[in-house]
């Protein structure tokens, strides 16, 4: 499995976007996925846990608040603005979490340090995902456990394909590509091989489907854009263009609307795997 590459160059959230991300996206799907992933693994009290690509830290915070009794949690991300927001949130909740800046494909930790390693919706953004998996394997203790989730391709998320197409039409190709970027083309077989090729065993693959809701197509656009690298561009969009975009989006999302707004499924692959017990 050497040909797996991520073509995402810069899906980088800045400005007020970490707060928007936490407010608009975390409750709807990142939080339920973090709870599911934590439950699948159930880290033991007293263990050392790493959350790679932690963002605003929902996985680190979920582990820290669920597994009490001295669990030591570190959250790592390469975006200092996400980490700043993560730190503010953990302090407000009275959680002790170590937040550290670093690259997933060059983890700033010694070999065999962690008992559990989580990476929620991070793999698809790494320029070298296979190298990141090797690094995750390196920093886990022998017998340590990996827990990943990776959203399924955009084919399983037609409402996002519609949003991306409308953005492409009204804002530009880059905006459309940006909205498609979080959805990798990786199927279950590809993900399985990536994880096994990095040295993991006892792989368990599970598909999780939840429903995502927004009060209207306009709010779907506004919240997704505000929580993404498109925030600045959308703010400075001419009023006429924005209105046209909203009109078209309303029309093309018609079949996803009910009396409470827009609703559609979100599907993610979850993987749990172990580093060999006798690994040296
Ligand atoms: C979709 S967010 C997921 C955040 C978090 N895991 C969650 O569940 O909310 C993707 C995260 O990956 C981070 N990221 C992207 N490339 C990275 C890299 N090379 N090393 C570390 N973090 C990275 C981004 O900064 C962002 O916070």
DSSP H stretches of helix in the chain: 17-20, 31-41, 58-66, 80-92, 129-139, 158-170, 173-180, 188-197, 217-226, 231-235, 239-252
CATH of the domain at 119: 3.40.50.150
- The pLDDT value given to residue 1: 38
In the chain, what percentage of residues exceed pLDDT 90?
82
Give the pLDDT band (50/70/90) at residue 232.
confident
Tokens of 156: 């399983």
- The pLDDT value given to residue 9: 38
**pLDDT (tens digit per residue) in 27-55:** 999 999 999 999 999 899 899 999 999 99
Residue 105 is assigned to a structural domain of this protein: yes
Distance of CA 277 from the midpoint of ligand 1 (Å): 29
Range of 29's domain?
Answer: 17-154+183-214+264-275
- The pLDDT value given to residue 161: 97
Question: Strand, coil or helix: what is 187?
Answer: coil
Residue 3 is assigned to a structural domain of this protein: no
Helix pair angle (188-197, 129-139), 10° resolution? 50
Give the pLDDT band (50/70/90) at residue 273.
very high
Q: Is residue 275 predicted with pLDDT exceeding 50? A: yes
pLDDT, mean over the chain: 92
Distance of CA 55 from the midpoint of ligand 1 (Å): 5
- The pLDDT value given to residue 118: 98
Distance of CA 86 from the midpoint of ligand 1 (Å): 12
Measured from the CB, is residue 55 less than 6 Å from ligand 1? yes
Residue 79 is assigned to a structural domain of this protein: yes
Measured from the CB, is residue 200 less than 6 Å from ligand 1? no
CB–CB of 200/271 below 8 Å?
Answer: no
Distance of CA 239 from the midpoint of ligand 1 (Å): 32
- The pLDDT value given to residue 228: 82
User: In this structure, how many other beta carbons lie within 10 angstroms of the beta carbon of residue 193?
Assistant: 14
Residue 33 is assigned to a structural domain of this protein: yes
Distance of CA 146 from the midpoint of ligand 1 (Å): 16
Residue 119 is assigned to a structural domain of this protein: yes
- The pLDDT value given to residue 6: 39
Measured from the CB, is residue 54 less than 6 Å from ligand 1? yes
Give the pLDDT band (50/70/90) at residue 14.
low
Query: Of 150, 151, 152, 140, whose CA–CA distance to 201 is shortest?
Result: 140
Rounded to whole angstroms, what are the CA distances from 72 to 44, 67, 116, 138, 162? 11, 10, 10, 19, 42
Residue 124 is assigned to a structural domain of this protein: yes
- The pLDDT value given to residue 7: 39
**pLDDT (tens digit per residue) in 121-137:** 999 999 999 999 999 99
- The pLDDT value given to residue 97: 97
- The pLDDT value given to residue 142: 97
Residue 231 is assigned to a structural domain of this protein: no
In angstroms, rounded to a whole number, what is the distance separating the alpha carbons of residues 193 and 191? 5
Q: Is residue 186 predicted with pLDDT exceeding 60? A: yes
- The pLDDT value given to residue 200: 98
How many structural domains comprise the chain? 1
Q: Which atom of ligand 1 is nearest to the CA of 30?
A: 8
**pLDDT (tens digit per residue) in 214-225:** 999 999 998 898
* pTM for the structure as a whole: 0.92
């Amino acid at each position: 499995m050497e040909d797996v590459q991520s073509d995402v160059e810069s899906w980088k959230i800045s400005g007020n976007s970490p707060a928007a991300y936490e407010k608009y996206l975390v409750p709807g799907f990142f939080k339920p996925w973090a709870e599911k992933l934590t439950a699948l693994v159930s880290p033991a009290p007293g263990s050392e846990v790493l959350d790679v690509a932690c963002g605003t830290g929902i996985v680190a915070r979920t582990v820290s608040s669920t597994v009490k009794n001295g669990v030591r949690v570190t959250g790592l991300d390469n975006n200092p603005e996400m980490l700043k927001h993560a730190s503010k949130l953990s302090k407000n909740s009275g959680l002790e979490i170590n937040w550290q800046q670093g690259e997933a494909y060059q983890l700033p930790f010694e070999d065999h340090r962690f008992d559990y390693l989580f990476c929620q919706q991070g793999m698809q953004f790494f320029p070298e995902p296979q190298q990141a998996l090797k690094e995750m394997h390196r920093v886990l203790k022998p017998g340590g456990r990996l827990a990943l989730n990776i959203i399924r391709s955009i084919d399983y998320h037609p409402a996002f394909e519609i949003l991306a197409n409308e953005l492409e039409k009204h804002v530009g190709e880059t905006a459309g590509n940006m909205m498609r970027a979080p959805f990798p083309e990786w199927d279950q077989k590809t993900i399985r091989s990536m994880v096994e090729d990095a040295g993991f065993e006892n792989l368990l693959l599970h598909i999780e489907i939840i429903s995502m809701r927004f009060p209207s197509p306009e709010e779907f656009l506004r919240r997704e854009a505000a929580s993404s690298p498109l925030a600045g561009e959308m703010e400075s969009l001419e009023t006429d263009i924005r209105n046209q975009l909203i009109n078209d989006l309303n029309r093309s999302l018609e079949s996803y609307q009910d009396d409470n707004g827009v609703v559609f499924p979100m599907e993610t692959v979850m993987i749990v795997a172990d580093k060999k017990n006798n690994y040296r």
